[in-house]
Amino acid sequence: KPRILSGIQPTGSLHLGNYLGALSQWVPMQDTYSCNFCVVDLHAVTNTKDHKLQQSSDGLREWTLSSAALYIAAGIDPEKSNIFVQSHVSAHSELSWLLTCTCPMGWMDRMIQFKEKKASKGDNVGLGLYSYPVLMAADILLYGAEKVPVGEDQRQHLELTRDLARRFNDQFCTGSQYKKLCKSLSLPTYPVFREPEAMIVKEGARVMSLTDGTSKMSKSDPSEASRINVLDPPDVIRQKVKRCKTDNFEGIIGAEDRPEARNLITIFKAVQPDRDPAEIEASVRDMNWGQFKPVLAEAVIEHLAPIQKRYEEVRGEEGYLEGVLKRGGDRANEQADETLKRARAAMGFVPRF
């Protein structure tokens, strides 16, 4: 089976965007692909001191465990897929360094997401945030992932991953020396890295902020009111939907340029995957905002209820989650070490005696 790798940063409680745009899309992939789903805690710490993570390490610990539990609650089956915590596999950090040393600065200077974050954070931007795409390349290349399900915002980082893989292979994995070395160490002789392909998640799965229909819902938005968390209790969801931003047009469907309206309808359809989208639109066409909002809130609550219930079960069963992460981490370490061993050897590091 072709391999897939994807992950979410434990920078907060997971929200509807993470669920609709990532988690729920992963579930059906489990039958077609050999999947690695990772909680990318090493990425989470790239946020500098202005971020809530730095206020308490309890945050990182709890969000890491709750994210992993939500993977399972949302339908990732630990029997089919590998669920693990990134920092449990030290090969991520090590390969990241090896790739850092082969990466020209000019390639990093082109990264749009860093430029944007730097523009908004100023001096609070750390070195880790700058080199973040190299760590992401290491994540992907360690497992020889053929496909990487990502949002449009990650396309450039995936392109960088391909460039880094090609550069490393060209620089270190051609020539007879390399083949001889591999044979002497009983390692495969093909180039170390596979160039991955992006699997861009479909457009409808992009969820926007409840307070601004033009920016995406995200964990790092300081306003709790901007997002619905997967674990929000029903009353909190009702309140957030009630207060969310809307517009002054009559009716909730139709007319161009209505980012908030479009977003709420997108959410309404996404949480009712078994209903026909056209029929859904017809059913709310004649409503005003005051009528639509409670209907939307109930649909979201109903969709999240079974996930919340499973989440409680996963967290409640003594030792279960730890066992899943232990097994997942062991399997991931096995795969990753093999790649790392070859990368080290190709660069000329003396193998461990």
Helix (H) / strand (E) containing 179: helix 176-184
Question: Cβ of residue 154: shortest distance to ligand ATP, in angstroms?
Answer: 6
Our finding on whether 340 is near ligand ATP (CB under 6 A) is no
Our finding on whether 18 is near ligand ATP (CB under 6 A) is yes
Contact 204, 266 (CB under 8 A): yes
Pick from 75, 128, 151, 234 the residue near ligand ATP by CB under 6 A.
151
Residues contacting 256, CB < 8 A, separation 6+: none
Question: At residue 224, what is the residue type?
Answer: E
Which residues face 3 on adjacent strands?
34
Pick from 187, 205, 280, 284 the residue near ligand ATP by CB under 6 A.
205
347 CB neighbour count, 10 Å cutoff: 15
Q: 219 catalytic, yes or no?
A: yes
Binding segment toward ligand ATP, per CB under 6 A, in 18-26, 110-118, 173-181, 293-301: 18-26
Our finding on whether 22 is near ligand ATP (CB under 6 A) is yes
Our finding on whether 27 is near ligand ATP (CB under 6 A) is no
Q: 202 catalytic, yes or no?
A: no
Distance between CA atoms of residues 292 and 250, nearest Å? 12
If the CB atoms of residues 6 and 169 are measured against ligand ATP, the closer one turns out to be 6
Binding segment toward ligand ATP, per CB under 6 A, in 15-23, 29-37, 76-84, 139-147: 15-23
Distance between CA atoms of residues 217 and 213, nearest Å? 9
Size of the site for ligand ATP (CB under 6 A): 17
Active-site residue (options: 118, 121, 216, 341): 216
Which residues face 4 on adjacent strands?
35, 147
Binding segment toward ligand ATP, per CB under 6 A, in 10-18, 120-128, 286-294, 337-345: 10-18
Give the DSSP per-residue string, 284-348.
HTT--HHHHHHHHHHHHHHHHHHHHHHHHHHHHSTTHHHHHHHHHHHHHHHHHHHHHHHHHHHHT
Our finding on whether 217 is near ligand ATP (CB under 6 A) is yes
Our finding on whether 196 is near ligand ATP (CB under 6 A) is no
If the CB atoms of residues 175 and 222 are measured against ligand ATP, the closer one turns out to be 222
Distance between CA atoms of residues 136 and 156, nearest Å? 12
* Residues assigned a catalytic role: 117, 216, 219
Which residues make up the interface to ligand ATP (CB under 6 A)? 8-9, 11, 17-18, 21-22, 150-151, 205-207, 216-220
